[in-house]
Chain A
C-alpha cells in the first residue's frame, strides 16, 4: 500500500446525481483527448440501467469512457464509470475494485465509497469533485479526501441543477473551492499540469 502511494500518479474522482449527466457532458466536452489523468466517476443510476450512460458520456467528448471490471490497472487518462448496481472503489496498485455491498446513502454506486477508497490509495495526489445532485452522498467521502491532503472542489450550488448535494459537500468541507462548471474545467486542466508525470502501466504486466 505504501509503495503504491509513492508511485501512483494522480487521479480525479467525480460524484454526481440529479442533473449530473448535463454537467458531466459539459466537462467532458471541454477536456482534451490528451488529458493525462484518470477520471473515476460515480453518477447515481438505477440498478437496471444498461449502456445508455456510457454511450452518452462517450458521445459528449474526446476521452475514452468505460465501465471497468474489478482489478483493472488505473493508469492513464480516460473515464472509468461506476457500473449500475456496483460500488466502484480504488484498490492498491492502483487498480479498480467493485463491490455489491449494500447501498450507501441510498445509492449504489455511491460517491462516498469511491471517494473514501480513492483517498486511501492516492492520499494527497487526488482531486475530488462534487457536482449537482440531491442528497448528501459524497460529503463524508470528500471529508476523507481533504483530510488525506487531497484537493476538494464543489460545483457552485447556485448554478447546479440540484443544489443539495453540492450544498452538503460545501458544509462538510468548508475549505473546498466553490466554482461554476467553466471554472472547474480550468482547475482540472491546472491540476493535470502540476500532477507528477503519468506513467503508462508496463506492457504485459500481470495485475
Chain B
C-alpha cells in the first residue's frame, strides 16, 4: 500500500511537469521555425528578432539569479 501511494504521488508530480514540458517543446519548435525562416530568406536576424530573444533570455537569467539567491 505504501508503494502505491508513493507511485501515485510521483505520477501526480510528473503530471504537474507536463505543461512546463509542453511549453518548452513549443518554444523549441518556434525557435527552430524562426531560424529556418531566417536562413531560407538568406538574411540576418532583424533588430526586433534579436530584441525578442534577448528579452526572453534576460527574464530567465533573472529567475535563475533569484532562485540561487533564495537558497
User: A and B from one assembly?
Assistant: no
